[in-house]
Amino acid sequence: MAVWCLFKPPTYDEVWPSLGTWGPQPHMLLGHEYKPFEPGAWTGASTTKRSTTIHAGYGAPSDPEELRAPFDAMAIAGHSRCAQALLSSAWSLYVAGSTPNPLEWTDRLLLLYTAVMALCEPPGEPARDEEVFGRWQHVAERAGVWSDLTERGYSAQRIQQAHARIRDARNIATHGSDSVLVNLGYPAEATRTVRGPREVPGADLALAVIRADWGPLLFAARAVTTELWCRAQAENFDDGWFEDHFQ
C-alpha cells in the first residue's frame, strides 16, 4: 500500500488508504469557522466560513507492474539490500505524508529523515550521517530532483538551507528534551546549540519555517524513491545496479 501511494499518490479529494483500521472510514472533512485576531475591530471583522469537503476512497494503481511492485520486492527482501531499502523508505514516506495525519511535526521529521537514511545507507559498516547525506545528494542529482525544484521556484541556496534546518530539527526531535517546543512553536528570541557546535536562532525552528522546508524535501524524497522503484523492478532489485546510483 505504501508503495502504491508512491506510484499513485492520493489526490486532494481522496482518503489516504490504510489496512486493518476501524470502519467506516472517515471521508467528510468539516472545516472550522474562525475569526482572525483583530484588536479594536468591532464591526466588519473578517471571518473564514466553515467548509465541508467530501473525500472519495483511494483507488489502487491500474498498471499491473505497479500493482505487483511491492510483492516482487517482498519476495526477495531477505537477500536484496535494494528491495529492503526501497520498502523501508516507502513505508516511512507513507506514514510521514499521509493525510490527515495524527503525528506531531517532530514525528514526521523523524520519518522523513528515516526514509532518506534507509534509502541511502551504504553497504558494510554503519556510516556517519555526513556520508549518508552525501549519497542522498548524489542520487537526488542523478534523478534530476534539484532541477525539478529549481523549476518550481526553489533556489539551490534555499534547498541547502532547508536541508540544514530539517536536520537540526530532526536531531532535536530525536535527542532534545526541548523537542516539544518544535511542535508548540520555538520561541523566536531563543537560541539552540546543535551539532557542530552551532547556535541556531529559534526563528529557524518556527513551525512556519519547518512547514515551508517540509514541502520541497518531502517532494524530493518521494521523487527519488519512486524513480528508483520504477527502474529497480525491471532490474530484479539487483544490489549492484542499486549501488551504482550513489556513486
Residue 58 falls within a domain, yes or no? no
Residue 39 falls within a domain, yes or no? no
CB hemisphere CA count around 116 (13 angstroms): 26
For residue 101, the model assigns a pLDDT of: 85
Residue type, 17: P
Residue 171 falls within a domain, yes or no? yes
For residue 39, the model assigns a pLDDT of: 73
Boundaries of domain holding 121: 64-244
Q: Which residues contact 210 (CB under 8 A, 6 or more apart)?
A: 105, 109, 165, 166, 169, 182
- Which helix (H) or strand (E) segment holds residue 136: the answer is helix 129-142
Q: Could you say which residues of the chain have pLDDT below 50?
A: none
pTM: 0.85
Residue 5 falls within a domain, yes or no? no
Residue 19 falls within a domain, yes or no? no
- Number of domains composing the chain: 1
Pairing of strands 191-194, 198-201: antiparallel
Residue 43, C-alpha cell as written in the block: 464591526
Residue 123, C-alpha cell as written in the block: 553497504
Compute the distance between CA of residue 119 and CA of residue 117 in angstroms, rounded to an integer: 5
For residue 130, the model assigns a pLDDT of: 85
Residue 37 falls within a domain, yes or no? no
List, in sequence order, every residue forming a beta bridge with 56; answer none if it has no partner: 14
Tell which phi-psi region holds residue 44, choosing left (phi > 0), alpha (psi between -120 and 50) or beta: left
For residue 57, the model assigns a pLDDT of: 83
For residue 69, the model assigns a pLDDT of: 94
Residue 49 falls within a domain, yes or no? no
Residue type, 210: I
Q: Quick check: helix, strand or coil at residue 216? A: helix
